[in-house]
Amino acid sequence: MNVTGIVLIGAAFCTAFLFTGWMRRFALTQNLLDIPNARSSHQLPTPRGGGVSIVLVVLAGLSVLWWHNSLSGAELTAFLGAGGLVALVGWMDDRGHVAARWRLLVHFSAGIWGLAWLGGFPPLELAGRVVDLGWLGHGLAVLYLAWLLNLYNFMDGIDGIAGIEAITVCGGGVVLYWLSLGRELSGYTAPAQPALLLAAATAGFLCWNFPRARIFMGDAGSGFVGLLLGLLSLQAARAAPELFLGWLILLGVFVVDATVTLLRRMLRGERVYDAHRDHAYQHAARHHGSHFPVTLAVGAVNLAWLLPLAGLVATGRLDGLVGLLIAWIPLVIVVVYYRGGIRLDGKPEGF
């Protein structure tokens, strides 16, 4: 990585750290607090909205990357337009309330915007063949982006978990670039720099959110990070088709927990946007009596289990769909073991 890139990553971390501290003071003065209730996983009123620091630092950093020709104008427009729109409606929801239908409209609009500027859903490598899904792929990609940004909000429920997920997934994504493209350091870091930037900014925020949360990310930050991870996975797929399934493998903990929980709640006839704390990670935190081991376990699973499998897929040593199944099936088992999607009242529920 060149000197500019190193300075940018360091500046992103420091700026996000300082700005998150300022956001905490601002939230306290404005009474912007997350008040615990029966569906919360925390016990004390805690400031929220700290993820705004991630949003502003990443958007500014992306502009610097574009200025130094490390990011195309189309990529910059995709990230700034889609990410900024999602962060704005999230901030409005953090400050007051935005009806779910309007949030969803913005989320799908942002997904369409980002996908269009990135050139649509790229061809994928499936079973050893490169397959172009055409308009079906574009439609599925918009659903994927909207679901990813929403599930990231659902999964941001205990100290540090959303930050650890973003850092390990982005770091893993950089490793996949290196493994797949096989270029020298100066070659593969150009497409990987947005992921490094997001990881650095999230790390600055994480200093205030883990091991004990002194401020929460909020809807503005969680939606922005979730959407950016989706857009980065599509950007990676344009660089090398096999990388998309590699990124899906890396995202497995959040995707599997959120999706299994959603399906079980839907099959019970519950409204999916009602607040709850029935995710497997929330049950696990109560079972173990602390957020700390659960958050660390998520990072360990990402690095020790999902990253090696994603690396095998990125290097062509393992078929992408086979790798995805090998990676995700144990995660489904863990989610079921920790009763993801089961209500707290203890009534027997099932698929």
The answer to whether 247 touches 122, Cβ cutoff 8 Å, is: no
Asked whether residue 348 is domain-assigned, the answer is no
Contact 140, 108 (CB under 8 A): no
Task: Give tens-digit pLDDT for 222-273.
Answer: 999 999 999 999 999 998 888 999 999 999 999 999 999 999 988 888 877 7
103 near 93, Cβ under 8 Å?
A: yes
> Taking the CA of residue 154 as centre, how many other CA atoms within 13 Å lie in the half-sphere pointing to its CB?
28
* Assigned domain for 347 exists: no
The reply to whether 65 falls in a domain is yes
Residue among 95, 225, 242 nearest 168 (CA) = 225
Q: Cβ of 102: how many Cβ atoms within 10 Å? A: 12
Q: How far apart are CA 97 and CA 289, in angstroms?
A: 32
CA distance 174 to 162: 18
8-state DSSP, 122: P
Residue 343 belongs to a domain: no
Domain count, the chain: 1
Domain membership flag for residue 350:
no
Q: Report if residue 163 sits inside a domain.
A: yes
Please give the C-alpha separations between residue 65 and each of 71, 72, 121, 151, 171, in angstroms, as whole numbers.
Answer: 6, 9, 23, 28, 18
127-139 pLDDT per residue, tens: 778 888 899 999 9
Give the model confidence (pLDDT) of 170-212 as tens digits: 999 999 999 987 654 444 456 789 999 999 999 999 999 999 9
User: Do 312 and 242 form a contact (C-beta atoms < 8 A)?
Assistant: no
Distance CA 323, CA 310 (A): 7
User: Could you report the per-residue pLDDT of 95-126, keeping only the tens digit for each?
Assistant: 988 998 999 999 999 999 999 999 999 988 77
Would residue 60 count as lying in a domain?
yes
Residue 351 falls inside a structural domain = no
**Residue 257, annotated as binding a ligand:** no
pLDDT at 13 (0 to 100): 98
Domain that holds residue 26: 3-337
Write down how long the chain is. Answer: 351
